[in-house]
Amino acid sequence: MIRRGSDYIKSLKEGNHGEVYYNGEKVEDLTEHPAFKIPIKTVADYYDLHWKDPALRVYNPDVGEETSISYFRPRNKHDLRKLREGLVRIYDFYHGYFGRSPDYLNVWTMVFFAHAEDYFGKVFGNKIMENVINIYKEATKKDLFYTHAIVAPMYDRSKPPSQWEDPYIQVGIVKETPEGVVVRGAAMLSTAGPYAEMLWYLPNIRRDTDPRYAIFFSIPTNTKGVKFLARRGFHPKDGFSEFEYPLSSRFEESDAILVLDDVLVPWDRIIFFKKPEEIEGFMWHTVQLRTWFNWHFVIQHYARMKFYAGLAIAAAEAVGINNFINVQEKLGEILIYLALNEAALIAAEEAGEELPNIYRPNPYISIAASAFNMRALPRVHELLRLLYGGSSIPVPAGIKDFENPEEAKYVEKYLSSKGLSALDRVKLFNILWDVIGSESGLRYEQYDRFSRGDPTIRWANMYTEVYKEKKYEYIKLVKEIMDQMPNPKR
């Protein structure tokens, strides 16, 4: 099944969301709230996009019906390319923004399903294997919007959560009952949590050997005890619109702290249970969830790099600085990042791994490209600031400035440029400012830096985890030369 946008909005109005708090108040109607109505409309547009673009709908042999491309399990290189091309079309629609789109967690659910037997069944038994299969089939049938929360609150990183004053700051199992397990705690940062219908919870790393923290599950967000404490919205200020905030007005996505207040998780919603020693292997080496979500990030970044390149070039040509060598150098740097992202996606397919149950992108290339972008994307923001200096500050920049005849004649005279009318220049530089200077733009920059964790750690992980075994191949190349070198005569 593939829903339409109206189905999603109707579902939210019927109460299929968590308990949401914003600015000290409980939100009753998310669809009309200024902090949430923008991303809700964008999610609805995502569903409708499937009906406008046939490439996003595919026959899914795993369930015997048509589903979103994001549920499609690739079995070979051609399938992975098909999945990638579909996801690129989605993120081209978003111009590389709106990373917590429904497709993101749909891919996770598909990956879990692919490993239902060879991982979940072998490690946790048949009951959990059946849970994984049934959750995937339910997801494809209902096409609900999943989000996730995977990071423990930063209470005291010097100690494991079991040694904190309250051991239930990180989500943990309180007790087991015949119906399921009761969990308590919080997780960050649940982007899209307030307006998602379903939730995946899992700890992204093993912070403790205590088995109470080793649980992965899927539940509806309207389950009793599920609460979201939302940050303040970065939507356009009162009195302004998409003219002044062309990106914030479309791609602002809410972030929230997830609180699980003694939530009962039924046994049939649990896919990972009380084996903390499995967490790192699950993420890096067996299911390789990190390979998949980093590959997905690179798709998002590739779409955004295309947008950034277009923005940088359009603005440079509009104000006549595109022939300066220092400007060309910066434009060239952006284009290099764009080309490297495209190359990484193609290479990850060509050098992918064909397993009996799934064809997955090359882990070395996917994770490396995503880690590289933790520094490349903020660098592009820096380049956009350096290229246009003070002219990036949009003064004046409102649509009403053009509607007042007394003011408009000055605006049209003094804000025009060699390549653009005043109106088009203001539109262009409003886009630029929304990228590099608005609250929403700065939030995306911070997210790009840290959404996969501390970039220092992620770069270090290339040595400690990603190339953990493969590094010996490179050491061998050096030792071959060493072995050919003469030894001193004794």
CB-based burial, 273-312: b 16+ in 10 Å, e otherwise: bbebebbeebbbeebbbbbbbbbbbbbbbbbbbbbbbebb
Separation of alpha carbons 85 and 79, rounded Å: 10
Contacts of 167 (CB under 8 A, 6+ apart): 161, 210, 212
Whether residue 435 has pLDDT greater than 90:
yes
The residue assigned the tokens 């356009």 is: 236
CB-based burial, 136-173: b 16+ in 10 Å, e otherwise: beebbeebbbbbbbbbbbeeeeeebbeebeebbbbbbb
Whether residue 108 has pLDDT greater than 80:
yes
| Neighbour count for residue 455 (Cβ, 10 Å) | 17
Separation of alpha carbons 147 and 99, rounded Å: 11
Q: Give residue 454's pLDDT band: very low, low, confident or very high (50, 70, 90).
A: confident
pLDDT recorded at residue 346: 98
- 68 pairs with which residues across the strands? 57
> Which residue from 139, 130, 118, 128 is spatially nearest to 60, judged by alpha carbons?
139
| Helix extents (H) in 187-263 | 248-251
pLDDT recorded at residue 397: 81
Q: For 121, what's the count of Cα atoms within 13 Å in the CB-facing half-sphere? A: 10
Burial of 64 (0-12, 13-18, 19+ CB in 10 A): exposed
pLDDT tens per residue across span 40-96: 999 999 999 999 999 999 999 999 999 999 999 999 999 999 999 999 999 999 999
State the first-to-last Cα distance of the chain, in angstroms, to the nearest integer. Answer: 78
Whether residue 24 has pLDDT greater than 80:
yes
Q: In 3-state terms, what secondary structure has residue 3? A: coil
Whether residue 419 has pLDDT greater than 80:
no
Query: Do the first three CATH levels of 5-282 and 288-477 match, i.e. the same topology?
Result: no
Q: Does domain 288-477 have CATH number 1.10.3720.10?
A: no
Span 294-319, average pLDDT: 97
pTM comes to: 0.94
Q: Are 440 and 234 in contact (CB under 8 A)?
A: yes
Separation of alpha carbons 313 and 296, rounded Å: 26
Which strand (E) or helix (H) includes residue 357? none
Bridging pattern class, strands 226-230 and 19-22: parallel
Separation of alpha carbons 48 and 390, rounded Å: 40
pLDDT recorded at residue 393: 85
What proportion of the chain, given as a percentage, has pLDDT over 90?
A: 91
Classify the C-alpha dihedral 75-78-80-82 as positive or negative: negative
- 200 pairs with which residues across the strands? 148, 218
Domain locations along the chain: 5-282, 288-477
Greatest extent of the chain over all pairs of C-alpha atoms, in Å: 96
Question: Both tokens of residue 345?
Answer: 């996606």
The CA–CA distances, whole Å, from 253 to 114, 196, 341 equal 30, 11, 24
DSSP class per residue in 116-166:
IIIIIIHHH-HHHHHHHHHHHHHHHHH---EEEE-B---S-TTS-GGGSSS
Whether residue 445 has pLDDT greater than 80:
yes
Q: For the chain, percent helix, then strand, then coil, each to nearest 5?
A: 55, 15, 30
Question: Both tokens of residue 283?
Answer: 């993420």
- Mean predicted lDDT score pLDDT of the chain: 96
CB-based burial, 472-482: b 16+ in 10 Å, e otherwise: eeeeeeeeeee
May I ask the CATH class of domain 5-282?
A: mainly beta
- 20 pairs with which residues across the strands? 228
Whether residue 394 has pLDDT greater than 80:
no
Separation of alpha carbons 134 and 138, rounded Å: 6
pLDDT recorded at residue 455: 87
- The DSSP 8-state label assigned to residue 465 in this structure reads I
- Taking the CA atoms of residue 362, residue 339, residue 107 and residue 62 in that order, the dihedral angle to the nearest 10 degrees is -70
pLDDT recorded at residue 418: 79
Q: Give residue 204's pLDDT band: very low, low, confident or very high (50, 70, 90).
A: confident
The amino acid at 145:
F
Q: In 3-state terms, what secondary structure has residue 422? A: helix
- Taking the CA atoms of residue 397, residue 403, residue 407 and residue 410 in that order, the dihedral angle to the nearest 10 degrees is 70
CB-based burial, 219-229: b 16+ in 10 Å, e otherwise: bebbbebbbbb
Contacts of 74 (CB under 8 A, 6+ apart): 80, 82, 83, 358, 359, 360
Span 350-368, average pLDDT: 97
Span 283-310, average pLDDT: 97
